[in-house]
Amino acid sequence: MPKAALQEILPYKTDQLLEMVTDVEAYPEFINFISGLRITSPRKRDGDVETFEAQMNVSYKMFTESVRCGVTIDHAKNTVVVRNSDRPGPLKTLINDWTFTELSDGSTVIDFFVDVTLKSFPLNMLAAQKFGSVSEKMMAVFVRRADYKLRKIEPDAKIDLVAEFKALGLKRRV
pTM of the model: 0.88
If DSSP codes are grouped into helix, strand and coil, which group holds residue 15? Answer: helix
Domains delineated in the chain? 3-168 (3.30.530.20)
Q: pLDDT tens, 43-52? A: 999 999 999 9
How confident is the model at residue 171, as a pLDDT? 86
CA–CA–CA angle 16, 20, 25 (5° rounding): 155
Q: Give the whole-angstrom CA distance, residue 104 versus residue 122.
A: 46
Between the CA of residue 81 and those of 49, 111, 124, 138, what are the distances in Å?
Answer: 11, 12, 22, 17
How confident is the model at residue 135, as a pLDDT? 79
Q: Give average pLDDT by consecutive 10-residue segment, the chain, 174 residues.
A: 85 97 94 91 96 89 82 97 79 88 96 80 55 77 95 89 91 75
How confident is the model at residue 124, as a pLDDT? 47
Could you tell me which of 136, 168, 173, 152 has the C-alpha nearest to residue 17?
A: 152
- Beta strand pairing call for 3-10 and 63-74: unpaired
Q: Give the whole-angstrom CA distance, residue 32 versus residue 23.
A: 16
Q: Give the whole-angstrom CA distance, residue 80 versus residue 91.
A: 19
118-145: b (≥16 Cβ within 10 Å) or e: beeeeebeebeeebeebbeebbeebeeb
Q: What is the DSSP string of 35-52?
A: EEEEE-S--EEETTEEEE
8-state DSSP, 151: P
